[in-house]
Chain A
Amino acid sequence: MKSTCLVLIYFCFVPSLSFAHPVSFEGSTGLMGYHSDFFSHNQVNYSFKYWFAGGVHHLRKPNADKETSASLLTLNFLLKRWNTKKFQANIYGVFGAGESSLTAESKGAGFALMQFDIEDRKLYFLAKHARVISKDQTDFYQTTLRFGVAPYQDEYSGFHSWIILDLQQVKFFGEKVINDITPMLRFFYRNLLFEIGQSFDGVTKFNYITHF
């Protein structure tokens, strides 16, 4: 019941959540998303295994004249993980299908996302490409590169901070390519993480992740 309420609150009041952990530990539910003035991507997933999750995605173009969005069901896979004493690295693949109105008409669409990330306690790197495809065209794509540095290390139960540089290229069908660079601050405590930043073009971004 509590979990259901949290999901409803999430969909009703939080415009967007971040996207960084398509799969988490077995039996966990993740709420995450990314939000900016030109694009938002929300996701809820449930991890059946540490390498496999089912997800619901909602992509939206916030400032469009009419409703411009895509709703998708996905299967999220941890394709490869490297666990070492120094770092952890992952390759994720997310594949799904649903309905897209990101172009003029509403129609069936497919979704694919590939992500690579590597991090230790001081450094973090992520590369990601997501694409919504319908019929013969790409409705939307997003390429992301992220570099992060932790200015200090705290205990597991402490308050953690990261400085992140977020580079993005986003394109909606029939529109020009949007490139932006955003310095962000990431904060997390226990199972709550949020990031906030403003791009060099003045676009404010807000990301959010939680697992329970």
Chain B
Amino acid sequence: MYKNIFMLCICCFTLFAQGKTHDHSKMNHDHKDSVAKIKKQEKKDKVLIEVKGMVCAFCAQGIEKKFGKRKEVKSAKVNLDKMEVLVKFKKGQSLNEKQIKKIIVDAGFSYVGSK
């Protein structure tokens, strides 16, 4: 009888301990996710946008002007050789991909992607 109770206690303890271990693992995952999110947020302080059709400096000014009008944007710099635009955001602010794509399209160019 005592043996059975003891074994039951051992089983319950084991299950409890496993649960705790699992929680720790989950917490570790959550912690890693938070770190990744922060790192991602840090990366979004600036974004490098690839644009198709940006051959003319005279026309590309539209992109700079369009980004410059956004309150989130600190600066925008066009690189004609690579057909890229480097956009730096103000602290704690950024634009999502949909917003970036709209700005590029409204300026008359094709959006390829951003990194």
Q: How far is the CB of A78 from chain B (nearest CB, A)?
A: 7
A83 and B107 form a contact (CB under 8 A): no
A188 and B57 form a contact (CB under 8 A): yes
Interface of B, secondary structure class, is: mixed
| A80 interfacial contact with B, CB 8 Å | no
Q: How many residues of A contact B (CB 8 A)?
A: 32
* Residues of the A chain whose Cβ atoms lie less than 8 Å from the Cβ of B55: 87-88, 119-121
* Residues of the A chain whose Cβ atoms lie less than 8 Å from the Cβ of B22: none
* Residues of the B chain whose Cβ atoms lie less than 8 Å from the Cβ of A160: 57-58
The residue from A50, A154, A211 contacting B106, defined by CB atoms under 8 A apart: A50
| A153 interfacial contact with B, CB 8 Å | yes
* Residues of the A chain whose Cβ atoms lie less than 8 Å from the Cβ of B52: 83-85
* Residues of the B chain whose Cβ atoms lie less than 8 Å from the Cβ of A120: 55
Our count of residue pairs bridging A and B at CB distance below 8 angstroms stands at 76
Given contacts A25-B65, A81-B108, contact A191 B53 (CB under 8 A): no
User: A41-57: which residues lie under 8 A (CB-CB) from chain B?
Assistant: 49-51
Measured CA separation A160–B60 after assembly (Å): 13
| B75 interfacial contact with A, CB 8 Å | no
Q: How many residues of B contact A (CB 8 A)?
A: 26
| B61 interfacial contact with A, CB 8 Å | yes
* Residues of the B chain whose Cβ atoms lie less than 8 Å from the Cβ of A157: 57
The residue from B61, B78, B80 contacting A121, defined by CB atoms under 8 A apart: B80
B107 and A211 form a contact (CB under 8 A): no
Question: What sequence of 0s and 1s flags, for each residue 45-62 of chain B, a beta carbon within 8 Å of any chain A beta carbon?
Answer: 000000011111111111
A85 and B78 form a contact (CB under 8 A): no
Question: What sequence of 0s and 1s flags, for each residue 120-143 of chain A, a beta carbon within 8 Å of any chain B beta carbon?
Answer: 110000000000000000000000
B80 and A156 form a contact (CB under 8 A): yes
| B83 interfacial contact with A, CB 8 Å | yes
Measured CA separation A55–B66 after assembly (Å): 21
Question: What sequence of 0s and 1s flags, for each residue 170-207 of chain A, a beta carbon within 8 Å of any chain B beta carbon?
Answer: 00000000000000000010110100000000000000
Q: List 9 A-B contacts (CB under 8 A).
A: A24-B108, A26-B62, A26-B66, A49-B106, A50-B106, A120-B55, A156-B78, A157-B57, A193-B58
Question: Which B positions have Cβ atoms within 8 angstroms of A?
Answer: 52-63, 65-66, 77-81, 83, 105-110
4 extra interchain contacts, Cβ-Cβ under 8 A, other than A119-B56, A157-B57, A190-B61? A25-B62, A28-B65, A88-B56, A211-B61
